[in-house]
Chains A and B, each alone.
Chain A
Amino acid sequence: MAGSLRPSEAKSGGLLDDADVTIKQARFVRYDYGGKAEKPALALAVEMVDAENQAHIEYYSAGDLKFFIPTADGKGYDTVGEKTVLYKSCNTIQFLESLVKAGFPESKLGDDISVIDGLKIHVSRVPQKKRTFQDGRKAKEDATILLVDKILGEVAAAPAAVDLTTKAIEAVQKALAANAGQLPAARVALEVFKVVGKEPHGADVLKAVTPEFLSAAGRPWLFDQAAGLLIAQ
């Protein structure tokens, strides 16, 4: 069968290009480009979801880990060497510049990249600027970079904040009910894990169940610290 030459009938390849996407999450990470890089570097990982609900993670190089490391929550980076800001030519800055050029207020870009979570954008792959790395290597001739060329929608209003305290109280109550109304303190986290283990905010709920949380006043249980026992009331 003769193959079609019509661009409209062509199927997209593996690389994301010319697409409307929603930024699900953008975070700084240590990344070694799937083992291709000699050593890992700081990169901005932007998880984008396309119109067919397929997720793509685009990694934008940001700098050397000698100078910059991701913060614990990945929402920013800390400087640990003599360099204090990212190079203008790095892919992360190119991505952010394209975002600002497309209309995203630069003033919103402080030190927390999560401000772009939820943003709806159009992205296109463009030839990478000719550049030479700090160590003298030159960028590949045919390299491309995925940049923002249009902002389609503002960041959706954040969903109502999950009340972790309420959820944690409910989880502990369920755990107590499943254990005849009392639990050794050392087993509370495990039993709460069993209650919330498959819930979307399960990890956060579990984290909220600290000794301070358990012993706070007004809880619907007694925390006998001497006996190390939690007893339902």
Chain B
Amino acid sequence: MQVTLLPDDIGIADLTVSPDAPPRSPGLHQSDLIKGLLKELEPERFGKPLDALRIEMGFAFERMLEEGLKRKFPGIFRPFEIQVEGVAMSPDGYDAASNTLEEFKATWMSSRHGIEDKRFWHWLVQIKGYLYGLTTHTGVEHTTARLRVFWVNGDYKGSGPQLASYRLEFEPREIVENWQMLRNYARRKGLLP
């Protein structure tokens, strides 16, 4: 058998999953705030450029899960971009039957520490931000989210890939404090008046 490595005729751009997502508006997004915050807090981990292939894999997972959930639970949809106090945010999904935010993640980190581990702090910041946005937008308190995680390498101890869903319930106070933190960061950086 002869094996020849072929020249690069496929790149990241070819892998891009055509997003069915609402167009991202220019301007300040919650993800910009969280990224900036993480670079300050953990420059070693978040100061480096992200791995584009892993990002695309993450998008691919989000789209597949979005389609799958829509088929199984017709009440779940991807909502329009929400604007809150000058910050745009795009939740992955919303379950109209239970007023629950849906968020999807794919990660190469180990599942064995659980999502309350500090490694996943930024996921919770993002989710609480979305819940604040939904509350502000609808006038009805949103405190519950469902987080669906594809642990690509599972627990790294022989589990293999794992797919898990978590129900997260927050105190309203946690959601407001989280938003104040993001807003304060934005103001400190001059991104919000």
Interface of A with B (CB < 8 Å)?
Answer: 1, 24-25, 27, 29-30, 32, 35, 39-40, 45, 47, 54-55, 57, 65, 69, 74, 186-187, 189-190, 193-194, 197-200, 202-203, 206
Residue of B nearest to A35 (CB): B36
Interface of B with A (CB < 8 Å)?
Answer: 7, 13, 22-23, 25-28, 35-36, 39, 77-83, 94, 96, 99, 137-140, 189-193
Shortest distance between the CB of A173 and any CB in chain B (Å) = 17
B79 touches which of A47, A186, A202 (Cβ 8 Å): A202
Shortest distance between the CB of A10 and any CB in chain B (Å) = 14
B80 A199 Cβ-Cβ under 8 A: yes
* CB contacts between A and B, total, < 8 Å: 72
With A30-B191, A45-B27 known, 16 other A-B pairs at CB within 8 A are A1-B7, A24-B23, A27-B27, A29-B26, A30-B192, A32-B190, A40-B190, A54-B13, A57-B26, A69-B193, A74-B27, A186-B139, A190-B139, A198-B78, A200-B22, A206-B137
* A45: B residues at CB distance < 8 A: 26-27
13 contacts between A and B (CB under 8 A): A25-B25, A29-B26, A29-B27, A29-B28, A32-B36, A54-B13, A74-B26, A194-B96, A197-B79, A198-B77, A198-B78, A202-B79, A202-B80
* A47: B residues at CB distance < 8 A: 26
Residue with the greatest number of chain B CB neighbours at <10 A, chosen from A29, A47, A198: A198
A198 touches which of B36, B79, B83 (Cβ 8 Å): B79
Using known A-B contacts A189-B139, A190-B99, determine if residue A198 contacts B189 with beta carbons closer than 8 Å. Answer: no
Please report whether the interface of chain B is mostly helix, strand, loop or mixed according to DSSP.
loop
**Given the complex of chains A and B, what is the CA–CA distance between A22 and B138 in angstroms?**
34
Shortest distance between the CB of B77 and any CB in chain A (Å) = 4
**Given the complex of chains A and B, what is the CA–CA distance between A39 and B96 in angstroms?**
40
Using known A-B contacts A197-B96, A198-B77, determine if residue A65 contacts B139 with beta carbons closer than 8 Å. Answer: no
Shortest distance between the CB of B49 and any CB in chain A (Å) = 11
Shortest distance between the CB of B146 and any CB in chain A (Å) = 16
* B22: A residues at CB distance < 8 A: 200
Lowest 3 CB-CB distances: which A-B pairs, in order? A45-B26, A190-B138, A194-B96
Residue with the greatest number of chain A CB neighbours at <10 A, chosen from B78, B83, B189, B190: B190
Residue of A nearest to B140 (CB): A190
**Given the complex of chains A and B, what is the CA–CA distance between A30 and B87 in angstroms?**
11
Residue of B nearest to A72 (CB): B86
* B28: A residues at CB distance < 8 A: 29-30
B190 A65 Cβ-Cβ under 8 A: yes
Shortest distance between the CB of B27 and any CB in chain A (Å) = 4
* A199: B residues at CB distance < 8 A: 80
* A40: B residues at CB distance < 8 A: 189-191
* A57: B residues at CB distance < 8 A: 26
**Given the complex of chains A and B, what is the CA–CA distance between A29 and B82 in angstroms?**
17
Using known A-B contacts A187-B140, A202-B79, A203-B83, determine if residue A39 contacts B190 with beta carbons closer than 8 Å. Answer: yes
**Given the complex of chains A and B, what is the CA–CA distance between A45 and B13 in angstroms?**
23
Residue of A nearest to B35 (CB): A35
* B27: A residues at CB distance < 8 A: 27, 29-30, 45, 74
B80 A198 Cβ-Cβ under 8 A: yes
Shortest distance between the CB of A21 and any CB in chain B (Å) = 15
A189 B193 Cβ-Cβ under 8 A: no
Shortest distance between the CB of A112 and any CB in chain B (Å) = 16
Shortest distance between the CB of B86 and any CB in chain A (Å) = 8
Residue of B nearest to A193 (CB): B138
